[in-house]
Structure 1
Amino acid sequence: MRALTVFPRVLAALLLASLLAACDKAPQFNATDITGADYGAALNLPDASGKSRSIGDFSGKVVAVFFGYTQCPDACPTSLALMADVTNKLGEDGKRLQVILVSVDPERDTPELLGQYVTAFNPGFIAMRGTLAQTKAVAQSFNVFYEKRGDIAGGKYTMDHTAGIYLFDTKGRARLFVRYGETPENLLADIKLLLSGK
């Protein structure tokens, strides 16, 4: 008789344990999970107004960082348009998403030009620009590749560069790498998860 009264308790304990395990499961992101990476620690550059900014300045927000330049013919305007679309679809939560473009072409991207460029997509977007040495250091800290191609001497070159987007959670931790070409729906879902504290 005693064994019969113990069995329901064991069953209840196992059920509770399985429910807790399900609750503790890692969120299912669409982008590549890079949780634990130390990307962003070296990101401390002036914005278009000359104010030095870092990831820590945006506590409480999801931060989207990508590398590009104003004369980019495809990836950069596509990524900015994608982020503008996602920001709009977030509604009020769009205020809790900070988009940052880090220039890989500081020789041609003046602060004024960068500021006008990113805010044309959304007034809340920020551009950062460092010296050549700072740009190299920050790019290396993110494992970002960039290189001039074409008429370098004539100043009519293009820049080959890593085109993905790095997402940081509301506590400033690197969480996701979003590959170029991701759908707005998948990106939106991932950002909502990060905003919810996942």
Structure 2
Amino acid sequence: MKFSRLARLACLLVLGMPLAACQRNETAASWQLTDISGHMPDLAFQLTNDQGKAVTAADYRGKVALLYFGYTHCPDVCPLTLAHLHVVMQKLGKLAEGTQILFVSVDPQRDTPEALHTYVTAFDPRVVGLTGSPAEIEALTKRYRAAFSREPGKASDSYEVSHSSGIYIFDAGGKARLLATPDDAQDKLVHDLYLLLSAGGTP
């Protein structure tokens, strides 16, 4: 657009800033999700994946990571969110190969690696289930200001886990960039993930 070109030129000439810096600001202003750049820590964890292998955040560097806290016995928001993300991946087409969905269990007592694998792969092959000790899970949720609590279920020997439902999006370098919710339209996620992925994951 003509206005966009004029804006970049004004940024270059009037402010004396490199054109690349102006382009970065323009990209940041075009996000449709919540921009959390600089407000959340980098992606970091030491957990066990759904194949029973010890992994760290470094194992997923090079891909745009979508981090979500949930559990396999979740009656509503978790399956809806994973189904939501599956459609987003389909809409991204081949670009989706540059993403990694990380589903971290907040119910490590019941969510074994095997149970996680069966659950997450039923939604999308790009989802990796992660679990760990209660202390590791609690530390990770606190790192990203997420919350969860265990509550009695309908049966005397059952329980449910209430948890926040944010989807944390990290660029290919592990930097926190965006925050989505299950209520955000799929096209918003597609739009912002496209920006990240088409720029090599780190615009």
If the TM-score is normalised by the length of the shorter chain, which range does it land in? 0.7 to 0.9
C-alpha spacing 1:92/1:35, structure 2 compared with 1 (3 Å): same
C-alpha spacing 1:169/1:183, structure 2 compared with 1 (3 Å): same
TM-score normalised over the length of structure 2: 0.83
TM-score normalised over the length of structure 1: 0.85
| Residue in 2 that maps onto 1:84 | 86
Q: Give the distance between the partners of 2:34 and 2:171, measured in 1 at CA.
A: 14
| Residue in 1 that maps onto 2:4 | none
For structure 2, the 5+ residue unaligned runs are: 1-8
Q: Give the distance between the partners of 2:64 and 2:170, measured in 1 at CA.
A: 6
Which of 58, 75, 78 aligns to 2:77? It is 75
Q: After TM superposition, what 4+ stretches of structure 1 lie above 4 angstroms from structure 2?
A: 13-16
| Residue in 2 that maps onto 1:52 | 54
C-alpha spacing 1:51/1:22, structure 2 compared with 1 (3 Å): same
Contact 1:40-1:142 within 8 A present in 2 as well: no
Letter aligned with residue 25 of structure 2: K
SS in 1 for 2:88: helix
How many aligned positions are there? 185
| Residue in 2 that maps onto 1:179 | 181
Q: Which has the larger radius of gyration?
A: 1
SS in 1 for 2:111: coil
C-alpha spacing 1:142/1:24, structure 2 compared with 1 (3 Å): closer
Which of 26, 30, 41 aligns to 1:38? It is 41
SS in 2 for 1:90: helix
| Residue in 2 that maps onto 1:3 | none
| Residue in 1 that maps onto 2:23 | 23
Letter aligned with residue 17 of structure 1: L
C-alpha spacing 1:180/1:102, structure 2 compared with 1 (3 Å): same
